[in-house]
Structure 1
Amino acid sequence: MTNYKFLEPYTFANGATVKNRIVIPPMTEESAMADGTVSRDELHYVSLRAGGVGMFISPVANVTPDGKGFEGELSVADDRFIPGLSKLAHAMKGHGSKAILQIFHAGRMSSSSVLRGTQPVSASAVAAPREGMETPRELTESEIETIIQSFGDATRRAIEAGFDGVEIHGANTYLIQQFFSPNSNQRTDKWGGTVDKRMTFALEIIKAARKAVDDYAKSPFILGYRISPEEVETPGIRLADTLHFIDTLADQPIDYLHISMGNAWRTSLNDPSEQTPTILRIKKQVNGRKPLISVGSIKTPAEAEKVMDAGIEFAAIGREYLCEPNWVEKVEAGLEDTIHYSINRAELDDLGLTPILMTFLEGMQANIPFEGESENKQGIEASPILNE
């Protein structure tokens, strides 16, 4: 079957056209050089997966040195990274995929070890409620303004490197989400307090990135925003606040919203009486103002088409693209029955899966199936750090 709706092209409001509705979401692969420079392993990994999908979103890149969250992470914090990022963009754009660079600051989701002795920073001096997490230093107002500008500078570098867009990473417990969360943001100035004030940091980052696009992009450049709908901590982000935020985001100068969840059809994490999938509640709130990307445990063509049938514009396929780098091409060729849904450990080199990446995936219990291994060895739902 080749008449799937997800194989149809899509044109954004800014005029950028993608050839289909399938997206490779940002996935942590810990393969950059120690200083954040693009490695040959990364270039090989992305080149194997480029071409079929409409959009390919990179692993996350930090916008400042103190924004680094883990080893092997990309950086876009300085102009010296542009040559390597240019190679990455070129590899991701092979055969017509749009290359999107995801940019972020880890905030308190880092450590003094990762930062080589520097204390992590956040909206407030509140440690993440997870074992072993350090108490961050509260950012000053001038430091906040500097980080906001760093997102604008990162966007300019992405343009110069040849990417087709950037995705602002406002999800998965990192700094932008930390400013929105009442758990991590206990400020009483203009950056915290009410839900509207807790939006301010994200909105200013969008403004800085948009200005860079307007100033430097010579062709339609895609600006996306990623958000996690809820937190399980108390206090924490609840869906009512997120829907209010979504309503504001839908009127911002961005081109899409990417909804980060471990399962695309998940219902509320905090309200067991809520039976409507969260993605559908968000879709209703957006009301057609921005296209949505839905992600989370989408593997088969039928599952991707279910997203289209719900009126959601894009389906992101992450972990399955580790198993099958030619997923779209096989669907287009009518070869669905040849799609691989598990990994043969003897073929890791052919899949561009390095020992570092495999160790990371297994440590995160990332629910990656391996051929010939029993169900109970497959792991659990992806950790947020996998970033699918």
Structure 2
Amino acid sequence: MNSKYTPLFEPFTFSNGIKLDNRIVMAPMTNFSSNPDGTVSDQEVEYYVRRSKGVGMVITACTYVTANGKGFPGQFAGNSDDMIPSLRRLATAIKETGAKAVLQIFHGGRLCPPELVPNGDVVSASAVPAERGAAPAGQPVPRELSDGEIESIIRDFGETTRRAIESGFDGVEIHGANGYLIQQFFSPHSNRREDRWGGSLEKRLAFPLAVVDEVKRIVQTYAKDPFIVGYRFSPEEPETPGITMADTLKLVDALADKHLDYLHVSLTDFWSTPRRGVEDKRPRIELIKEQAGDRVPVIGVGSIYTADDALKALQTGIPLIALGRGLIIEPDWVEKVKQGRESEIATKLNKNDQKRLVIPDPLWQAIISTPGWFPGIE
């Protein structure tokens, strides 16, 4: 190995004592490839095994915690105990490669397609449709959740955490990013409530923090060994009103006080800068790390393809670097850097590579039908 990349391979130990072999994490990426009954498919397992070897930790695609939270076709389920054997199969397959396995837990809220949820009942913090990601007919107007339903969904996040523990996962990541339900409660765009769950910024924080508290309570109750709890968030929204960088720094502050094992920033570009809310023009990731301080480690992500990209990101002081598209394009990324073959890392996708890269059919179709998503596919 080229000695300059040694920092990427230093072990990392979470505050709970769980140790990662290196600083590289597989980012959570939807693959649309589960079985119709919500169980993990053979193709999915093969896809994860192909990419897990060498990385310190794998964060899975998101699993829905309740039936009305299903956000994608081909999304695997975590909403009932019947799914524990399926979840266990995935956890076991990842862990057998030597990586830690973290299950991302999620509710799609107003971004759930009506045809995927019972009775087409799409729910959110308030009856405000999404402005983006819309079909030609527009996004459905969601139904505002009642206080009792909100409490129930919080418990559902806890129950899916218990299933993750029973399935042998090493941790869970709470999906508070990408415009889904937890973010919808924090956002002034989607949350227009005037009760204990909305209004002021502090009240818009109530649901995300309640989910964190419930997940941590379940871990304390059921986990016999150390268990990772992370939280993923998106720093800003383009909508007006919407989450600003200033709002996010308050979210980071509140989350850092919760003794989480990590915060994971959802970014397309690691080096992106704030859109609004602060005058500081430094990259968002630096502002977030500064706000988190020594209280909680931060995982950075976004358009990191080469070993030099990862090293430059690590040099900001961010302790863990997640690769998403990079690991789909180059499943042997870690092995190649270890072997001094970093110049051989593929950074573009070839249209003939599906079989060699073990990419499931539904994910492959999504990639080739979305120009610009992956480098090389035009």
Tell whether the structures are fold-level matches, with TM greater than 0.5: yes
State yes or no: 1:360 paired with 2:366.
Answer: yes
The 1:36–1:144 alpha-carbon spacing in structure 2 relative to 1, beyond 3 Å, is same
Shift of 1:34: 1.8
Give me the whole-angstrom Cα distance separating, in 2, the residues matched to 1:116 and 1:200: 27
Q: Give yes or no for the alignment of 1:196 onto 2:198.
A: no
2: CA distance between counterparts of 1:224 and 1:65?
Answer: 23
RMSD after superposition: 1.4
The 8 Å contact of residues 206 and 253 in structure 1, kept in 2 or not, is answered as no
Q: Residue 18 of structure 2 aligns with which residue? A: 16
Q: Does the alignment pair 1:311 with 2:317? A: yes
The answer to whether the Cα contact below 8 Å between 1:307 and 1:315 also exists between their aligned partners in 2 is yes
TM-superposed CA distance for 1:223, in Å, is 0.4
Partner of 1:209: 215
The answer on 1:117 being equivalent to 2:119 is yes
Match in the other structure for 1:369:
375
Deviations 1:42-80 (A, max 9, x none): 011001111210110001100000000110011100011
- Counterparts in 2 of 1:291-330, with a 5 A limit? 291-330=297-336
1:261-280 equivalence runs, <5 A: 261-270=267-276, 274-280=280-286
2:265 is the alignment partner of 1:247: no
Q: Secondary structure at the match of 1:96?
A: coil
Report the secondary structure of 2:263's partner residue: strand
Output the CA distance in 1 between the equivalents of 2:169 and 2:372.
28
* One-letter code aligned to 2:144: E
**Amino acid of the structure 1 residue aligned with 2:173:** E
Unpaired stretches in structure 1, ≥5 consecutive residues: 378-388
Structure 2 residue 65 is matched with structure 1 residue 63: yes
1:218-273 alpha-carbon deviations (Å, 9 max, x no partner): 11111000011100100000111110111111010310000111100100123696
1:129 counterpart = 2:135: no
SS of corresponding position for 2:116: coil
Aligned residue for 1:257, secondary structure, equals: strand
Native 8 Å contact 1:263 1:295 kept in 2: yes
Alignment partner, residue 43 of structure 2: 41
Q: Provide the residue aligned with 2:178 in structure 1.
A: 172
State how far apart, in whole Å, the 2-side matches of 1:42 and 1:171 are: 23
- Number of aligned residue pairs: 372
* Aligned equivalent of 2:241: 235
| Whole-angstrom CA distance in 1 between matches of 2:236 and 2:368 | 25
Q: 1:84 aligns to what?
A: 86
**Matches of 1:273 and 1:257, distance apart in 2:** 23
Q: Is the 8 A contact 1:18 1:98 kept in 2?
A: yes
Q: Which among 150, 155, 171 is matched to residue 156 of structure 2?
A: 150
Equivalence map 1:337-348=2 (5 Å): 337-348=343-354
Tell me the CA shift for residue 192 of structure 1.
0.2
Q: Separation in 1 of the partners of 2:370 and 2:351?
A: 18
Partner residue in 2 for 1:381? none
Amino acid aligned to 1:357:
L
- Give the alignment partner of residue 331 of structure 1, picking from 334, 337, 360: 337
- Identify the match of residue 76 of structure 2 among 74, 77, 93: 74
Question: Within 2, Cα distance between the matches of 1:23 and 1:252?
Answer: 22
Kindly indicate whether residue 31 of structure 2 is the aligned counterpart of residue 29 of structure 1: yes
Report how far residue 274 of structure 1 moved: 4.3
Q: CA deviation at 1:347?
A: 3.0
8 Å contact kept, 1:77–1:150: yes
TM superposition score normalised by structure 2: 0.95
Q: Which amino acid aligns with 1:34?
A: P
Specify the SS of the correspondent of 1:299.
coil
Instruction: Give the C-alpha shift of residue 342 in structure 1.
Output: 2.3
C-alpha separation between the residues in 2 aligned to 1:116 and 1:222? Answer: 32
| Partner Cα distance (2:243, 2:204) in 1 | 11
Output the amino acid matched with 2:325: R
CA separation of 1:347 and 1:361: change in aligned 2, threshold 3 A: closer
What amino acid maps onto 2:148 in structure 1?
Answer: S
Query: Structure 1 52/206 Cα, relative in aligned 2: closer, same or farther at 3 Å?
Result: same
Residue of structure 2 equivalent to 1:351: 357
TM-score, with length taken from structure 1: 0.93
Deviation larger for 111-120 or 332-341: 111-120
Matched-pair contact (CA < 8 Å) for 2:31–2:61: yes
Whole-Å Cα distance in 2 between the matches of residues 271 and 288 of structure 1? 24
Gaps of 5+ in 2: none
Give distance in 2, aligned partners of 1:306 and 1:120. Answer: 42
Percent identity for Structure 1 against Structure 2: 48
Please tell me the residue identity of whatever aligns with 1:360: A
1:282 is paired with a residue whose SS is helix
